[in-house]
Amino acid sequence: MCGLIAISGSSDAAYEVFYGLMNLQHRGQDGAGILAIAENGQEHFHLQKGSGLIEHIFSDHSLHEINTPSAIGHSRYSTVGHNDPNGLQPFLDYNAGIGLGHNGNIVNFYSLRDVVLKQGHTLVAESDSALILSLLADSLDGQTPNCQSLFSAIEVCMTKLVGSYSVIGLTRNGDVFGFRDPDGIRPLVLGKRKNANGKVVHGLASETVALSFLGFSELEDVQPGEAVYIDRQGTLTRKIISQHSHSPCMFEWVYFSRVESEWESTSVYAARFELGRLLAEQLKKAGVTADIVIPIPETSRIAAIALAECLGKPFRELLIKNRYINRTFILDDQASRQEAIRRKLFPIAEEIAGKDCLIVDDSIVRGNTASQIVKLVRSAGAKKITLVSTCPPIVSPCYYGIDFPSPSELISYNRTPDEVVSATGADHVVFQNFEGLKKAIGKETLCLGCLTGTYPTDITSASDFTSRRVQDRDAQIQIKNKC
């Protein structure tokens, strides 16, 4: 899961991309990069990237100095390839005259990479994003990148790639392009605005919040299998290249996206509020009672408010977050997540002691957060703890860009409900049902692979993907331990 943004037609595109990325920091903490076309007498690519948080990598003053009409940016959350600086995006193929950033996972990455390498091609990094760049460059075969040649290259890519991908790109001519996988698993939105001088500016981003912040008011989704091309003169061309299904990832609404965003015509805020309301109905039918409702910050707050209102119980923020600790779910190993959780939250014991506590989480994936918080609340003197999840049990791996590639690390995998309760340490655990999830999001067709084990794409290569990804993570942990 990564953050993408592209700006075309602005007088200060690199600077705008920087502020767009700031609004996508939640989608990746490993590092970030900005690729721009600089106009300093002679046009050339300007690429800057680094590890860590966005505000520590770029200087707004230096970005102001890049006189550029178009730029793209990427914030990274690593799922394939080691978490090292060589994997930071955007990637650039100078000879082909294109650079790109990618959000998602290519399930057949390893087998397709081996074919590409045997053909004598090279990758700029051990990454599925670098593989996409190589395929595009090879398909261009020396042609000048333009709307027609890139659409043809994208069509070739779509016949070879299996998995999820939203891609943004930049050509040496200063044209911007983007495309989305044929199943529409990962988000990509298109925006338009008019500046005071009447000039039209276009933007592409992973979430509407990044474009709304920059003043874009006309926003719409790039469709599954659609390619978008914006040339330097501002001409926008769109084409559906290959469309298989409409399977947006449910986890965007449940956890990943900012609550201010909207995707597929459904507000993230509205979906999370409805998840809480519908979960409250389940709890009423089950006869679950509580004295207070406590959200696990931050993502579950909206659902917890709705749930408390529907149950007629007090909503209390009693797990106080240290705002200087980043998102724990997207850290790259279990030990890091558990330590971050311990440092991230602190309970208000005097308000918890002696009470039946209903703890609301957006989802229970590995169980790290759930079990640690149950311990915290128990140590604060809670009389009873009911843990509820706005998402159904996650029982299968994700192959599309969220980092749980192995079923063995999932708390609900191959466990009975009672065993899940025992693993968390709670007195009761209640999950959202499938009907509630679909109704809250307002979609009948979603990617529910991690909930059902049925995926929108071929997963023949999934076992290889899982084993290689687990090897990557183990190697990264060994590196950390040696430091």
Lowest mean pLDDT among 82-86, 126-130, 472-476, 477-481: 477-481
Active site residues: 2
229 and 293 part of one domain: no
- For residue 85, the model assigns a pLDDT of 79
> What three-state secondary structure class fits 308?
helix
242 and 378 part of one domain: no
323 and 177 part of one domain: no
Q: What is the CATH number of the domain that holds 166?
A: 3.60.20.10
pLDDT-derived band at 480, boundaries 50, 70, 90: low
Is 258 part of a structural domain of the chain? Answer: no
433 and 379 part of one domain: yes
Do 397 and 301 contact (CB within 8 A), yes or no?
Answer: no
171 and 280 part of one domain: no
Q: What is the CATH number of the domain that holds 423?
A: 3.40.50.2020
Task: Dump the DSSP string for 318-382.
Answer: -EEE-TTS--STTSSSHHHHHHHHHHHEEE-HHHHTT-EEEEEES--SSSHHHHHHHHHHHHTT-
pLDDT-derived band at 479, boundaries 50, 70, 90: low
pLDDT-derived band at 330, boundaries 50, 70, 90: very low
Of 202, 217, 247, the position where a domain reaches its end is 247
- For residue 390, the model assigns a pLDDT of 98
* Structural domain of 54: 3-247
229 and 89 part of one domain: yes
Provide the token pair at 261: 């965003």
Is 252 part of a structural domain of the chain? Answer: no
435 and 296 part of one domain: yes
Of 214, 247, 280, the position where a domain reaches its end is 247
Of 247, 277, 306, the position where a domain reaches its end is 247
Task: Work out the average pLDDT over 401-409.
Answer: 85
Rg (CA), the chain: 23
- For residue 483, the model assigns a pLDDT of 53
Is 481 part of a structural domain of the chain? Answer: no
Do 351 and 291 contact (CB within 8 A), yes or no?
Answer: no
177 and 303 part of one domain: no
215 and 173 part of one domain: yes
218 and 287 part of one domain: no
Is 467 part of a structural domain of the chain? Answer: no
Is 469 part of a structural domain of the chain? Answer: no
Q: Tell me the pLDDT tens digit for each residue of 236-262.
A: 999 999 999 999 999 999 999 999 999
311 and 236 part of one domain: no
Is 476 part of a structural domain of the chain? Answer: no
Q: Give me the percent of the chain exceeding a pLDDT of 70.
A: 91
Statement: residue 478 has pLDDT above 90: no
CA 191 to chain CA centroid, nearest Å = 19
Tell me the Ramachandran region of residue 425: left when phi exceeds 0, alpha when psi lies from -120 to 50, beta otherwise: left
Is 257 part of a structural domain of the chain? Answer: no
> What three-state secondary structure class fits 148?
helix
Is 479 part of a structural domain of the chain? Answer: no
351 and 281 part of one domain: yes
Q: How many domains does the chain have?
A: 2
Q: Tell me the pLDDT tens digit for each residue of 347-379.
A: 999 999 999 999 999 999 998 888 989 999 999
In the structure, how many helices (H) and strands (E) does the chain have?
17, 21
**Phi, psi dihedrals of residue 17, rounded to the nearest 5°:** -60, -40
